[in-house]
């Protein structure tokens, strides 16, 4: 399977735990996750956000607006989408948090373009959220 041999995808998967450690160091979170936040953060939000941001917005920007034009290694469509992704987090999170999600947004956008779809970004998004919730927001509910 091509995805299993993709060094960029393997690096993105490995970056999850590194990001969790960095966030745990930077943020001070209180334990206490319940089943709903876990379901919401690991299943529902990754699917909904990837449909909206990487599926609709980035897809539209790639097809109708900027094509594959790039700024260095990143497409303009990916930059704009990651910025919108960060801005959307301002509705419920701090400015610092919203800025932090731009990095993963760029990773998700890269794999949306690399694999021409949103399945891989959904799985990566769920993986990043799961690790963060399980390790730093109270763990898996018992």
Render 90-104 in DSSP notation, one character per residue: GGTS-HHHHHHTHHH
According to the per-residue pLDDT averaged within each range, which of 13-17, 45-49, 65-69 is highest?
45-49
pLDDT higher than threshold 50 for residue 123: yes
pLDDT higher than threshold 60 for residue 124: yes
Mean pLDDT of the chain: 84
Which residues neighbour 4 within 8 Å (Cβ) at sequence distance 6 or greater?
none
Q: For residues 25 and 110, what is the distance between their CA atoms, to the nearest angstrom? A: 26
Q: What is the DSSP letter of 56?
A: I
pLDDT higher than threshold 70 for residue 141: no
State the pLDDT at residue 25.
Answer: 57
% of residues, the chain, pLDDT over 90:
52
């Amino acid at each position: 399977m091509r995805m299993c041999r993709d060094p960029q995808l393997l690096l993105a998967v490995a970056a999850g735990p590194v990001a969790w450690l960095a966030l745990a160091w930077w943020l001070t979170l209180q334990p206490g996750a319940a089943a709903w936040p876990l379901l919401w953060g690991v299943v529902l939000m990754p699917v909904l956000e990837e449909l909206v941001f990487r599926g609709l917005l980035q897809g539209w920007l790639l097809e109708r607006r900027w094509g594959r034009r790039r700024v260095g290694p990143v497409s303009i469509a990916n930059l704009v989408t990651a910025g919108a992704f960060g801005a959307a987090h301002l509705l419920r999170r701090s400015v610092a948090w919203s800025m932090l999600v731009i990095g993963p947004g760029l990773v998700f956008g890269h794999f949306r373009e690399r694999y021409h779809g949103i399945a891989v970004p959904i799985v990566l998004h769920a993986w990043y959220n799961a690790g963060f919730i399980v390790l730093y927001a109270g763990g898996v509910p018992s």
